Structure 1
Amino acid sequence: MLLTGLPATAGPVTAARQLSDVIPAPAEVKANPKADFRLTPFTQIRTQPHSKDATRIGHYLARTLRPATGYPLPVVPARRQHLPGISLLLGKAAPRTGTEGYQLDVARSGVTIRANTPAGLFAGVQTLRQLLPADIEADRVQRRAWTVPGGRIVDYPRFGYRGAMLDLARHFHTPDEIKAYVDELAQYKINHLHLHLSDDQGWRIQIDSWPRLAPEGGGPGTGVDGEGGGYLTKADYTDLVRYAAERYITVVPEIDMPGHTNAAQSVYAELNCDGVAVPPRTDIEVGYSSLCIDSEITYTFVEDVIRELAAMTPGPYLHIGGDEAHATTDEDYATFMNRVLPLVYKYGKRPFGWNEVAKVDPPASTVPQYWGTTTQNADVAEAAARGSKILMSPANKAYLDMKYDANTPLGLQWAGFIEVRDAYEWDPGNHLDGVGEESVLGVEAPLWSETLRTLDDIEFMAFPRLPALAELGWSPRATHDWGSFSQRLAEQGPRWQLREVNFYRSPQIAWPG
């Protein structure tokens, strides 16, 4: 389902006008117009000797550039030589680049990307990709010059956590669709993928100790309108984690509880206080379900799920939801969280929860994820004062499932309309009263799937807003400027067309052509 009204192919476009014409905006740029580099059929990609990671990134870059250039671009170990090429090197980068930043130097003699870690090297490759003409995204040879603007970029992220969430519960999305989304996230230096794996309408992850959970809770007829069936096997999940990790994206799994649990309670009667399984739900109402707080079987179930999910998740985080538990009293909610949070730590993970978790005074290492629509939340501010880091996802700024305007064919509007400028013009480090930048872990863009059935749907709601939120998470506050961003965003349009990414042609952006 294409909603853009754009042609399937794009004509020739020019190179990036300046070294800074990329998203997210680099931290430091020093242009040298007399030092442009040009790819040729003889260009090599030279990688840090004896580094498997650098070699793998080199092959990733070569696979990206070969279709449009038609050049062989061999990947070889770096050594002293005078032939122009692209060098991917570890070490000796500017110290301020840290663990995710990089230094990119462009001269007539070649392009050199240096980083302290492979993650930084990969980030630098994404910048290089955007510095080449948009035609580089074509899947067939384009007869043109391939020029990179000369100069130096020293770049590093503002926040360590830059995330996107995808809801698999309301409508299941296949591993291939998730991988396609991961590929797009990586280009904008997103480094976490939060997967919402359970809700009232579906359970989307295999759990061996409760074997009926996924086949029945995530089987045919589940999801909104009964049209969102499917689930991830453990092999699927492990493969997704690997695929994301190769792009320096950490998967954060979420099992929502004690509310949003109807799918599980419809499969296993013992999870209900009266011992009677509830009917499956395919509507989009919220707030009616709750695990049985006083039953020990509840905590057996929760521990089993956390144990199995933690065992197949190498990343440090596990999200336990905790939002919209309207059918759970405050006293029961506190009882539940005080039992469950230690289980997350027991299995070696740091717990995330939606901002309601802050009201139970959790340990300071627990991360509340703020999703409110105001700039005030006393519980979250108090958690920050106790030392908690806050993940910023205000629904009226960061929720990608909100409609762009009244005519948007997909999405909801309970948090208001969010045009691309709304998604860009706020500051995660100064948005919530009592939560300063030093207390912000980062920013995440959730995408709920009540109305989203296909990859086209996902892309249409994510683009062009996701790059806006990615820039807020990566780029220094001083670089945030709507005029500059809107021009740089317009240049992404031809790239999306060539990659066949479905996107909303916002009237706020002067798209080429």
Structure 2
Amino acid sequence: MSQPRPIPRLLGSLLLLAAATLSGVVASGLAATPAQAAEPPVRPLGQTVPVPASVVPGGAPFTLTPETRIRTDSSGEVRAIGDRLAEVLRPSTGYALPVTDRPSPGAIRLRLSGKDSALGEEGYRLQSSRGSLTITAHRPAGLFRGVQTLRQLLPSRVEEDTRQPGPWQVAGGTITDSPRFAHRGAMLDVSRHFLTVDQVKRYLDHISLYKINKLHLHLSDDQGWRIAIDSWPRLATYGGSTQVGGGPGGYYTKAQYKEIVRYAAARHVEVVPEIDMPGHTNAALASYAELNCDGVAPPLYTGTAVGFSSLCVPKAVTYDFVDDVIREIAALTPGRYIHIGGDEAHSTSRADYVAFMNRVQPIVATYGKTVIGWHQLTGATPAEGAIAQYWGLDGTSQAEKEQVARAAQNGTRLILSPADRIYLDMKYNKDTELGLSWAGYVEVRRSYDWDPGAYLPGAPASAIAGVEAPLWTETISSNEHIDHMAFPRLPGVAELGWSPAATHDWEDYKVRLAAQGPRMEALGIDYYRSAQVPWPATQ
């Protein structure tokens, strides 16, 4: 039997560019606009972000019609994925698209298969032909990832919330796909500027389209504490009352946090909460004087300097505080991880830092969670199973890189978040109004053009858990700000985490990314129009 193989990169790019010159069509009595006419009537199979692991094109396309149904298995999880797909497709197509578990000719079928264990937790197979379109997976998360591919294979206007012209076709053939790394994350800093539940949900909608599966919420910092803790109520009511620049701040009630977790889970995204310590703790220190070594609470802080705050490591009350916070957050969080920060603890002595981490990591384990910490955790003794998140850059000292690599050699897994590659708050160039530049400028190509598996010298490839793109919010407070800084860099990070290393090719990727422009516009994402990307002309 011949083995499926990816479409050659150059051929795929040429197909997409040639198809983009074709005229649009008129369907359902609606006229295509000039922008719509620039899209190919049938998108070449596999021209998605992330690019699939294997694509075998062939056969007639599948066409979505007013008679199409979405057929699911009888399980609640699969039905929910079908319902979500219908919610996306109904406004733009105008079709009823009933979701059913009964046999239906010409249906979009979502099915779980116990025989397809090779697809793993998130893999899927998409088969498109004239008479049907079937997505098969071993687990529900795989079905959800396959549905995101299906969305991208349909014309971009399918994302609109008003009726659009058809036809709605998916090229014929088979995609077989699964992720390179299990951890593909996006971090959202809600501490420097507080972001509402609706803002977080909106970000979840956008990152899940690109197969991101972790949302890391940075819930505490010097400028604000953002989660209600019943046993220490002033953390939120007082410590959460401000933000960078002195705005009103805010915090999530437990019910609101649980709603974020629920919404993320419906998109098969795991929430990873972070309480940063022992540094980055001024909001907590200002809320409770007893957490300070001198018993005096500092004022609330609204600046952007780092490294000046520290919990009092020798005090017993510090560990009562940590235990209470971890216990309450663990009870709200069904995911596996709690992030304990650990970076930029410049006001904590090395001996105190090691002692603190040795006390805190077992607390996390007590409540059934696994530790994630910034890579400075490797300067102490990472607990068994702990994950270190590396945020260094090309200029990070050799000694620090070697320290992280040694920990990886000894069994500590790594999440890679190099600041000069995938910190989404870094400016694109000198003219970028938002963001910072301490790690340098990070244009779209620089954020994509590196290999996580070979990035950190001395760290075995087997130790790399995945990648994560942090979005720090010293200068970011609105949806427009988030859009401009995260997009289009975040889709590239998603591809680095999902797609096989052999498929990573900037010349091919930039063409596929350009094709995402109309989709992001349809979704209302105000993305940065990088000159490095050949975006289609709009009128």
Q: TM-score range by the shorter chain?
A: over 0.9
Once the 2 structures are TM-superposed, how far is the Cα of residue 9 of structure 1 from its aligned partner? 10
Is this contact kept in 1: 2:409–2:460, CA < 8 A? no
Give the counterpart of 2:514 among 472, 485, 490: 490
User: Match of 1:3?
Assistant: none
Q: Which amino acid aligns with 1:389?
A: R
| RMSD (Å) for aligned C-alpha atoms | 1.3
| Distance apart, 1:92 and its partner CA | 5.5
**Letter aligned with residue 43 of structure 2:** R
Amino acid at match of 1:25: V
Question: 2:383, 2:99 → 1: CA distance?
Answer: 48
Map of 2:454 onto structure 1: 430
Q: Aligned to 1:501, which of 505, 522, 525?
A: 525
The question of whether the paired residues in 2 share the 8 Å contact of 1:171 and 1:228 is answered with no
Q: How many angstroms apart in 2 are the aligned matches of 1:207 and 1:14?
A: 52
Task: Write the distance in 2 (CA, Å) between the matches of 1:199 and 1:238.
Answer: 21
Q: Distance in 1 between matches of 2:306 and 2:115?
A: 50
The runs of at least 4 consecutive aligned structure 1 residues that moved more than 2 Å come to 8-17, 92-96
Secondary structure, in 3 states, of the residue corresponding to 2:122? coil
Counterpart position of 2:332: 312
What is the rounded CA distance, in whole Å, between the counterparts of 1:482 and 1:228 in structure 2?
42
SS at match of 1:114: strand
Following superposition, the deviation at residue 496 of structure 1 comes to 1.1
| Structure 1 residue aligned with 2:4 | none
Whichever residue aligns with residue 200 of structure 1, its letter is D
Of the three residues 46, 64, 75, the one matched with 2:71 is 46
Distance 1:16 1:190, change over 3 A: farther
1:227 partner amino acid: G
The answer for the alignment partner of 1:205 in structure 2 is 227
- How far the C-alpha of 1:14 sits from its partner, in A, is 2.4
Deviations 1:205-237, CA, capped at 9 Å, x for gaps: 000000111011111xx1111125011110000
1:115–1:78 Cα change, 3 Å: farther
Q: Does 1:340 align with 2:366?
A: no
**Cα pair distance change 1:393/1:228, threshold 3 Å:** farther
* Match among 176, 180, 189 for residue 202 of structure 2: 180
After superposition, where does 1:242-281 map in structure 2 within 5 Å? 242-281=262-301
Structure 2 counterpart of 1:298, which letter?
Answer: T
Task: Report if the CA contact (8 A) 2:220-2:275 is conserved.
Answer: yes
Cα distance in 1 for partners of 2:128, 2:114 equals 16
The answer as to whether partners of 1:93 and 1:102 remain within 8 angstroms in 2 is no
**Structure 1: which 5+ runs fail to align?**
1-7
* TM-score w.r.t. length of structure 1: 0.96
Residues 65-144 of structure 1 aligned to structure 2 (within 5 Å):
65-79=89-103, 81=104, 83-91=105-113, 94-144=116-166
Question: Using a 3 Å threshold, how does the CA distance of structure 1 residues 415 and 308 change in structure 2: closer, same or farther?
Answer: same
SS at match of 2:133: strand
Match of 2:392 among 368, 372, 375: 372
> How far did 1:78 drift?
3.9
Output the TM-score relative to the length of structure 2.
0.91
Is 1:28 the equivalent of 2:54? yes
Q: Aligned pair 1:298/2:318, yes or no?
A: yes
Greater CA drift, 138-147 or 117-126: 138-147
SS in 1 for 2:310: coil
What is the aligned-residue identity percentage? 55
Change (3 A) 1:15 1:357: farther
CA contact (8 A) 1:9 1:497 kept: no
> Per the alignment, in what secondary structure is the counterpart of residue 217 of structure 1?
coil
What is the aligned partner in structure 1 of residue 10 from structure 2? none
Deviates more, 1:56-65 or 1:359-368: 359-368
